[in-house]
Structure 1
Amino acid sequence: MESSKVIHALYNDDEVLLDAVKAVKEEHHHIEEVFCPFPVHGLDKAMGIAPTRLAITAFMYGITGLSIAIWMTNYMMIQDWPQDIGGKPSFSWIENMPAFVPILFELTVFFAAHLMVITFYMRSRIWPFKEAENPDPRTTDDHFLMEIPVKESAVEELTTLLTKTGAVEINVVDKH
């Protein structure tokens, strides 16, 4: 939908916002974004956003960390510099695996956590020194903002709908 204007509807309660999102979607309007000071349970479903696949990447990053930990413990403790520590022979990795469990666990968590943070920042396009994109600073404190692109002919209709849904403030702004 090509539109030149955007409506910013501000709400001061998350339940009112959730009901408003459902009402706007029922009227077949496209909601571009909702800015919230904290996560609102059920908002993604109400907006029709597809489930995230970040859990799959976390699993893959964990498997990568586990694989590197297995390779590292095998190379360092069995192949490169085998030592008899505490009477444990270093003939094979599998015999010494119980001693390596903390290392395996820690590297699995390390890789999953650090790579997930990097993936989240890249997916969210959050770079160092990036300017904030929220249209109203109150969305970081106590207000919720729904951003809806609208054609010039439908501004009045959508403004009326948003007023009925409990919006405390409605602003029509030019698209930047």
Structure 2
Amino acid sequence: MASKVVHAIYNDDDILMQAVKQTRAERYHIEEVYTPFPVHGLDKIMGLEPTRLAITAFMYGLVGLSVAVTMMNFIMIEDWPQDIGGKPSFSYIENMPAFVPIMFELTVFFAAHLMVITFYMRSKLWPFKKAENPDIRTTDDHFLMAVDGGNHDLEKLSKFLYDTGALEISIVESEDDH
């Protein structure tokens, strides 16, 4: 089912921030804001929940540390113990100080690589995915706020957005993907 979305174009990030505050105060639903650079504080003003990616990074680091400990114990202690520099490999704990760099590197390796994969999956950035940017100017010097038209009077909404400082307003049909 198609619905109407109102696109408001702004040319300044401070005006955009004020417009987002006013739009939320009027209880309009902001679907997305497209910016040419990160606008600090925009996520809080839009009412977005904080990211949980840091928690996943910690869990991925623990996975990397577990893999490192398991791998080194198997390779250096159980499968092929060697007497290196007069230090026999009787137990993992005795040799752990030598394994610390490997444990650190695999912790960072797993956390970094799995975080990139998680970010792409969470952002739905698949290989060869078509860009979803509604206006090419948002990659250069303009800002776009997409507001759900829903059951609202579109003329009243358009006038409201012009009053917030929008340079231009366009109403587009949007396919619901819910």
**TM-score when normalising by structure 2:** 0.92
- Is the Cα contact below 8 Å between 1:69 and 1:107 reproduced in 2? yes
1:44-63 alignment, distance < 5 Å: 44-63=43-62
Letter in 2 for 1:50: E
Corresponding residue for residue 171 of structure 1: 170
* Secondary structure, counterpart of 1:58 in structure 2: helix
Corresponding residue for residue 36 of structure 1: 35
- Is the Cα contact below 8 Å between 1:4 and 1:152 reproduced in 2? no
- Is the Cα contact below 8 Å between 2:6 and 2:172 reproduced in 1? yes
Query: Shift of the alpha carbon at 1:72?
Result: 0.6
1:12-161 alignment, distance < 5 Å: 12-151=11-150, 154-161=153-160
Find runs of 4+ consecutive structure 1 residues off by over 6 angstroms. Answer: none
Structure 2: tracts of 5 or more residues without a match: none
Query: Shift of the alpha carbon at 1:73?
Result: 0.8
Query: Shift of the alpha carbon at 1:174?
Result: 2.2
- Is the Cα contact below 8 Å between 1:31 and 1:148 reproduced in 2? yes
1:79-108: CA deviation from partner (whole Å, max 9, x where unpaired): 111112122221111111111111101100
- Is the Cα contact below 8 Å between 1:21 and 1:46 reproduced in 2? yes
**TM-score when normalising by structure 1:** 0.93
1:113-172: CA deviation from partner (whole Å, max 9, x where unpaired): 111111111111111110001101111222111001114751122112211211122111
> Cα 1:145–1:79, aligned 2, differ >3 Å: closer, same or farther?
same
Distance across 2 between alignment mates of 1:131 and 1:41? 27
Corresponding residue for residue 10 of structure 1: 9
Structure 1: tracts of 5 or more residues without a match: none
1:23-46: CA deviation from partner (whole Å, max 9, x where unpaired): 100000000111112221111111
Query: Shift of the alpha carbon at 1:3?
Result: 7.3
Q: Percent identity?
A: 69
Letter in 2 for 1:56: I
Query: Shift of the alpha carbon at 1:175?
Result: 2.3
